[in-house]
Structure 1
Amino acid sequence: MKRPIALITGASRGIGAATARLLAQRGYDLAVNYQHNAEAAGEVVKLAQAMGARAVALQADVSVESEVVRLFKDVDSQLGNLNALVNNAGIVQPQTRVEWITEERLDVMFRTNVNSAFLCSREAVLRMAIDKGGQGGAIVNVSSAAARLGAPNEYVDYAASKAAMDALTKGLSLEVATQGIRVNAVRPGLIETDIHASGGEPGRVARMAPAIPMQRGGSAHEVATAIAWLLSDEASYITGSFIDAAGGR
């Protein structure tokens, strides 16, 4: 039986890497996208291959249109017809308040977190849509509970970028529902990954844990299981929906 093919953006670390490992275990072949850390992406690929998957590490800055086009062509040539896309690539920047936000910061945030998801979704739909000769497929966007909570005093720009991803999820799901493509999102809460160090506070999860109903941060694997389920046939009648993986917050 032919293995489905999944592309995961930003898959060299954190939630992306955990998703790659889980999908390989569940029978997918994988395109592991990364921007800078070739060594880390290579380790993810080795683990996937050890589980029997065909897996390749593909470098691309998915905030840049020409690199997204190249990335998808590389998937076509090295693995074949795409069945699943996980829009996971995303950044935070150092914590700040709206009164101190600059245009430059907003440009980087929205190009990386929003433009990338639109561009990758476009290329996936062009390959998956039934009316374009595709066989259908599934897209999962990795949003954030911040889209609901606003992230005041820290990451309002990040929260806004994830709210845009939520709008993409809903709108695109309605556009392609007749084309055999399902589009859903997972909204992680406070997850133990190194993204918090990028925001200037590596211990943020521990600080915030008392505010979480479950009194702890989540793991990347716990988010990956939600992503994998939304990609699977078990979620075949689910589109335009959101799973909050946020410990009740």
Structure 2
Amino acid sequence: MSKPVVIITGASRGIGAATAHLAAARGYAVCVNYVHNQAAAQAVVDAIRAAGGEALAVAGDVAVEADVLKLFQVVDNELGTLSALVNNAGILERQMRVEEMDVARLQRVFTTNIVGSFLCAREAVRRMSTKFGGQGGAIVNLSSMAAKKLGGPGEYVDYAASKGAIDAMTVGLAKEVADQGIRVNAVRPGVIYTDIHASGGEPGRVDRVKDSVPMRRGGSAEEVAQAILWLLSDAASYSTGSFIDVAGGR
């Protein structure tokens, strides 16, 4: 019996990499998507293969439609029938107030975080929907607690807004494809120890803000991955349009 196939975007590091490792351990054939860091993506693939799993790394910027089309075509050819998508790829820019933001920054953040997720979801639906002859499947989007109640003031209001769009997309798409064998859910991480904070100019951000978390600590990428894999699994078979907050109570 062939393995279920999952595409995880932005999977060369952080939550994406942790999800790739866990998905492989749970029996998925994994596509590790990345943009620039081929060595990191290949390291994830090599570790999965060393543990007896199946994986391949595929370059592609989710903000570029041609790259998305190529990504899914490679998976069709190399891994087989798509079963699941994890829309994990996302960016943030340096900490900044809204009055300082220029249009180029906003376009970068919104194109990657919102348009990229839509493009990948579109291609997944075209493959998984029973309406198009597919066998069904699951999509998990990565949102953020910034979207739900924090907002990112003084730092990442644009990022928070992009994740608010992901929340709306999750609910709407879930309802749109619920009768086509596809479940769509999302995970909202809180402050998690990943490299993304360095992109914002503050690598130690988690340690600075962790005392504002009721559990008094930052989370791990592996803890987020556990929630993602549950939503992908048959254990969540009656869950769609739902959210799991992985935020230590924040």
Instruction: Give the TM-score taking structure 2 as reference length.
Output: 0.99
State percent identity of aligned pairs: 65
The separation in 2 between residues aligned to 1:78 and 1:31, in whole angstroms, is 10
| Residue in structure 2 matched with residue 46 of structure 1 by the alignment | 46
Give secondary structure in 1 for the equivalent of 2:94: coil
Give secondary structure in 2 for the equivalent of 1:186: strand
| Residue in structure 2 matched with residue 145 of structure 1 by the alignment | 145
| Residue in structure 2 matched with residue 21 of structure 1 by the alignment | 21
Give secondary structure in 2 for the equivalent of 1:22: helix
Equivalent AA in structure 2 for residue 245 of structure 1: V
Match status 1:189 vs 2:190? yes
Q: 1:104 deviation in Å?
A: 0.5
Q: Within 5 A, what are the aligned runs for 1:143-182?
A: 143-148=143-148, 149-182=150-183
Q: 1:82 deviation in Å?
A: 0.4
| Residue in structure 1 matched with residue 201 of structure 2 by the alignment | 200
Deviations 1:94-132 (A, max 9, x none): 001111111110000001101000000000000000010
Q: 1:52 deviation in Å?
A: 2.2
| Residue in structure 1 matched with residue 238 of structure 2 by the alignment | 237
The worse-fitting range, judged by mean Cα deviation, of 52-61 and 127-136 is 52-61
Give secondary structure in 2 for the equivalent of 1:32: strand
The separation in 2 between residues aligned to 1:54 and 1:193, in whole angstroms, is 25
Task: Give unmatched runs, 5+ long, in structure 1.
Answer: none
Q: 1:50 deviation in Å?
A: 1.9
| Residue in structure 1 matched with residue 229 of structure 2 by the alignment | 228
Give secondary structure in 1 for the equivalent of 2:160: helix
Deviations 1:71-112 (A, max 9, x none): 100100010110000000001100011111111100000011
Equivalent AA in structure 1 for residue 92 of structure 2: V
Deviations 1:163-217 (A, max 9, x none): 0011110000000000000000000000000100000001100000110000000
Q: CA RMSD in A?
A: 0.6
Q: Within 5 A, what are the aligned runs for 1:77-88?
A: 77-88=77-88
| Residue in structure 1 matched with residue 128 of structure 2 by the alignment | 128
The separation in 2 between residues aligned to 1:140 and 1:62, in whole angstroms, is 16
Aligned length: 249
The separation in 2 between residues aligned to 1:165 and 1:173, in whole angstroms, is 12
The separation in 2 between residues aligned to 1:52 and 1:27, in whole angstroms, is 10
Q: Within 5 A, what are the aligned runs for 1:40-119?
A: 40-119=40-119
Task: Give unmatched runs, 5+ long, in structure 2.
Answer: none
- Return structure 1 stretches of 4+ with deviation > 6 angstroms: none
Give secondary structure in 2 for the equivalent of 1:83: strand
Instruction: Give the TM-score taking structure 1 as reference length.
Output: 0.99
